[in-house]
Amino acid sequence: MARFGVRLENDPNLSPQDYQELSAQAEKNGFEAVWVPEGGGRDSLTSLATIAMKTEKVKLGTGILPIFARTPTNTAMGASGMAAVSNGRFMLGLGVGHAPTVESKDGIPFKAPMTRMRETIQIIKGLLSGEEVNFSGKQFNVSGASMGSATPKTKVPVYIAALGPQMLEMVGELADGVLMNWTAADYLTEAVGHIKRGADKAGRDMGEIDIAGYVRVAVGDDVSAARDSLRYQVARYASNPFYRNFFAQTGFDKEMSAAASALADGSLDKAAESITEEMQDQVAVVGTVDECRNALEKRRAAGLQMPVIAPFAVGDNKTSHRNVIDALAPN
């Protein structure tokens, strides 16, 4: 059976019971994994623990846990707790987050993100595999740290959120998988190439590395409302320099320049107008059930082993999630 994940938006208007219902529905419909992001609002570990109580088989992943706001040891403790609560179904997705958010909301300097990610993973992997960790690095010095009897009984796979070449190479070198975002169809082959370069350097087999990625999806016959909602979402992401560069590198320089200048003038409407249909179809999937399935399979053929369907709100958020989880059920 084809592997699919589903992303439940971190939306405070979705209650803990909504998360439980949607996840139970995803499990019943044959989705392999449920991922919950963390950008603001509630933390993702609490939501996943809530979900673990009402599901039995589906894997549960943080998509992603930002690494600047937590220490590696503290993150390993959270992973150990989730592994216990879920009976070994937890996947730890980690990401560096974004400089503006980290510096303004967390009040922490966004320094050396690559180094911080590398050291975080080295410490966490040691702790979760039951070692006593003595680590001396550029960002962390840890001595005599261990999880003791809290060490998870089964392996906790570590996924890295990666967009650019360096972070993708680090996935190949250190991680069990990648979780991409706004997974552009034509960029996949290149992305997988970067991961392979990292794996080759570390003498690892690509078969050990899972390629997962968020794909924004809206299913329905009336695509105009979905496309409107999507244009605004992409335009909002364009205000973040990190994503703006990523979209520009994946071939949408023209759209990003137009969106950036509209946002500089304070016009989100105008920025949204500059997101062409071609760009929408590269970074998301909108259409009838068959059109969506075909677009997802095209991405799978390009190397995306676990498309993670990310329903986006067209009208009510819970209803949008429920419709997509039903319409695109792998079963």
Q: What are the E-state strand segments in the chain?
A: 5-7, 33-36, 59-62, 65-66, 90-95, 133-136, 141-145, 158-161, 177-180, 210-219, 284-287, 306-311
Burial of 8 (0-12, 13-18, 19+ CB in 10 A): buried
Q: What is the pLDDT of residues 218-241, one digit of tens each?
A: 998 778 888 999 999 999 999 888
- In DSSP terms, 325 is beta-bridged to none
Which SS3 state, helix, strand or coil, does residue 72 take? helix
CA distances from 215 to 181, 230, 282 (A): 7, 12, 10
Predicted confidence band of residue 149 (pLDDT cuts 50, 70, 90): very high
* Dist CA 110 CA 166 (whole Å): 17
Percentage of residues of the chain with pLDDT beyond 70: 100
Class of domain 5-220+288-327: alpha beta
* Dist CA 322 CA 315 (whole Å): 12
- What integer pLDDT is reported at residue 156 of this predicted model? 98
Give residue limits of the domains in the chain: 5-220+288-327, 221-283
Helices H / strands E in the chain, number of each: 14, 12
Predicted confidence band of residue 331 (pLDDT cuts 50, 70, 90): confident
Q: What are the E-state strand segments in 51-194?
A: 59-62, 65-66, 90-95, 133-136, 141-145, 158-161, 177-180
The pTM score is: 0.96
- What integer pLDDT is reported at residue 240 of this predicted model? 87
**Sign (positive/negative) of CA torsion 239, 243, 245, 249?**
negative
Q: Please say if the pLDDT value at position 313 is more than 80.
A: no
- What integer pLDDT is reported at residue 321 of this predicted model? 95
- What integer pLDDT is reported at residue 146 of this predicted model? 98
Which stretch of 17-26, 132-141, 246-255, 289-298 has the lowest confidence by average pLDDT?
246-255
**Region 309-331: what's the mean pLDDT?**
91
**Region 6-14: what's the mean pLDDT?**
94
Q: Please say if the pLDDT value at position 193 is more than 90.
A: yes
